[in-house]
């Protein structure tokens, strides 16, 4: 009996100790809840970007690899805004044609496009042409690229008057004559149907040279060249090669009548609707795209020259012969004072522009 009592007591003590130990031991920590999947940043602004440029062609020529400067703009804008600005992209004229894009931007139907320095956009943009003034591309760069240059300020003002905000410049090179037969001297251009993007300056000077100026939309130029609607073009070597005009006309003469420029253009309404931090991001992207495009443009020009079978480089004396035949100096002195006085009354803006040009040229 005593053994049974002792055994019972021992079992009771063992069970009690186990219960006490179990109560004292902390409960096992619950498994941590899985971290929530990172949610994508919802865009605060969705912009439409449209262009008549073709997309970048990997592995193509340098011009084809540059493709559309807007592709770089879209990539940087979405990246640096951390997705707060989303950009829907319509390349190669899929949204509208060249002039429809400008109208869409002015109505804020699209927010980014490219806009050339053509008087059809605004008459004051003819300041960008400045015909037969700069034979050296670096000199022209000083005139329109430098942020403090008078030329740039005038062109920014012109875009503002047209309802456009200038984002970045994108140079397409000096204006030259691409042709099916050699055009070396001014007399060779007499009676030749020559395509140009409309500019009152270039139209008048081509007439002075005896050519037959013809306006043809960008996307129709190859066919017009092929079918004989035009026999020559006043164009930059980049565009001439980009749409393969050299397959039809192997000759190119860089007469440097002016420079072909286009801009990454923004809708002012869309830009002004941004908070201040996003405006700064847009400004930074604009500046960086411009610098990259300026550096790439030089290599593209050289590549384009190498791809032309017949590139007729002019001496300075031959270039001045073209300028004299076009009556360029007389044209400038008649055209620009009246144009600038209209938009800058009483400021002698033509005198200021000439002073800046003289400084750039070292005169």
Q: Tens of pLDDT along 145-166?
A: 888 899 999 999 999 999 999 9
Q: What is d(CA 155, CA 117) in angstroms, rounded to the nearest whole number?
A: 8
Beta strands (DSSP E) in 197-353 are 212-215, 232-235, 251-253, 259-266, 310-311
Span 311-330, average pLDDT: 95
Helices (H), 25-122: 62-66, 69-80, 98-106
Beta-strand relationship, 251-253 and 112-116: unpaired
pLDDT of residue 292: 81
**Residue 113: beta bridge partners?**
265
Which value, to the nearest 10 degrees, does the dihedral of the CA atoms of residues 41, 263, 111, 199 take? -170
Q: What is the pLDDT of residues 276-290, one digit of tens each?
A: 999 999 999 999 998
pLDDT of residue 240: 82
Domains of the chain in start order, with CATH, are: 45-361 (3.40.190.170)
Beta-strand relationship, 251-253 and 310-311: parallel
- Answer yes or no: are the C-beta atoms of 129 and 258 closer than 8 Å: yes
pLDDT of residue 86: 97
Q: What is d(CA 352, CA 289) in angstroms, rounded to the nearest whole number?
A: 29
Q: What is d(CA 214, CA 205) in angstroms, rounded to the nearest whole number?
A: 13
For residue 347, what are its two tokens?
């400021």
């Amino acid at each position: 009996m005593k053994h049974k009592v002792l055994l019972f007591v021992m079992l009771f003590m063992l069970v009690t100790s186990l219960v006490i130990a179990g109560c004292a031991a902390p409960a096992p920590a619950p498994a941590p809840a899985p971290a929530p999947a990172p949610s994508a940043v919802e865009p605060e602004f969705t912009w439409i970007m449209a262009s008549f440029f073709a997309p970048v062609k990997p592995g193509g020529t340098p011009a084809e690899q540059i493709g559309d400067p807007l592709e770089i703009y879209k990539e940087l804008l979405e990246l640096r805004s951390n997705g707060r600005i989303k950009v829907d992209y319509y390349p190669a004229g899929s949204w509208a044609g060249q002039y429809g894009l400008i109208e869409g931007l002015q109505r804020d139907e699209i927010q980014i496009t490219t806009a050339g320095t053509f008087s059809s956009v605004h008459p004051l943009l003819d300041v960008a042409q400045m015909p037969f003034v700069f034979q050296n591309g670096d000199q022209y760069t000083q005139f329109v690229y430098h942020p403090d240059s008078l030329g740039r300020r005038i062109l920014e003002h012109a875009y503002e008057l047209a309802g456009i905000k200038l984002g970045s410049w994108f140079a397409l090179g000096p204006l030259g004559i691409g042709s099916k037969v050699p055009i070396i001297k001014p007399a060779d251009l007499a009676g030749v149907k020559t395509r140009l993007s409309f500019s009152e300056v270039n139209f008048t000077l081509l007439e002075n040279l005896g050519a037959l100026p013809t306006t043809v939309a960008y996307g129709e130029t190859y066919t017009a060249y092929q079918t004989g609607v035009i026999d020559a073009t006043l164009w930059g070597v980049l565009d001439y090669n980009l749409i393969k005009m050299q397959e039809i006309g192997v000759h190119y003469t860089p007469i440097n009548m002016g420079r072909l420029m286009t801009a990454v253009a923004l809708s002012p309404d869309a830009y002004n609707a941004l908070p201040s931090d996003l405006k700064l991001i847009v400004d930074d992207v604009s500046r960086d795209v411009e610098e990259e495009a300026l550096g790439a443009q030089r290599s593209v020009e050289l590549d384009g020259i190498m791809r032309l079978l017949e590139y007729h480089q002019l001496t300075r004396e031959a270039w001045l012969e073209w300028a004299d035949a076009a009556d360029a100096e007389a044209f400038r002195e008649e055209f620009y004072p009246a144009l600038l006085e209209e938009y800058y009354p009483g400021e002698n803006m033509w005198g200021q522009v000439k002073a800046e040009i003289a400084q750039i040229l070292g005169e």
